């Protein structure tokens, strides 16, 4: 028995090619999205670490284990890839000290990956 032309069975080569092209575009978009997600996750992790390290420096200042003066240092063996720097500015119109805590990667070429955090502190009065 012959199959009639009005009752086709299966897909034509053109239909299969179009379906494969659509799938290829979709998979390309998904892999690009996944790659961007990995980059953003790494960036978010870096920013989280920098925020926690800045809070550590601020806690050291508030507890008195780090003097409130222009200085720089590192975080020891716990975070060997990071260092910090303090920059102070005194505005004579207000009795507060502007403190910039800068968290920098130890060795990184190219883009500036440092982060700066500012806080206003009341300087301790000397007796």
Q: What pLDDT shows up at residue 90? A: 86
Q: What pLDDT shows up at residue 13? A: 92
pLDDT tens digits, one per residue of 10-47: 889 999 999 999 999 999 999 999 999 999 999 999 99
Helix, strand and coil in the chain, % to nearest 5: 40, 25, 35
Could you tell me the mean pLDDT of each successive run of 10 residues in the chain, 127 residues long?
63 93 96 94 94 95 90 93 93 86 84 90 71
Q: What pLDDT shows up at residue 2? A: 55
User: Nearest-CA neighbor of 46 among 34, 54, 35, 57?
Assistant: 54
Sheet architecture: strand order including 79-90: 71-75, 79-90, 97-105, 115-121
Q: Which helix (H) or strand (E) holds 96?
A: none
Contact 104, 85 (CB under 8 A): yes
pTM for the predicted model, two decimal places:
0.73
Domain chopping of the chain, boundaries: 13-121
């Amino acid at each position: 028995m012959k199959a009639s032309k009005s009752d086709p069975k299966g897909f034509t080569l053109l239909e299969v090619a179009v379906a494969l092209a659509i799938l290829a575009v979709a998979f390309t978009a998904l892999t690009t999205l996944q790659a961007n997600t990995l980059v953003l996750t790494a960036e978010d992790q870096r920013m989280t670490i920098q925020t926690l390290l800045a809070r550590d420096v601020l806690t050291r200042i508030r507890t008195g284990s780090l003097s409130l003066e222009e200085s720089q240092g590192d975080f020891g063996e716990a975070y060997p890839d990071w260092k910090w720097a303090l920059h102070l500015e005194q505005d004579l119109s207000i009795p507060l000290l502007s403190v910039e805590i800068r968290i920098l990667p130890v060795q990184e070429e190219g883009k500036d990956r440092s982060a700066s955090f500012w806080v206003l502190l009341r300087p301790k009065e000397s007796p």
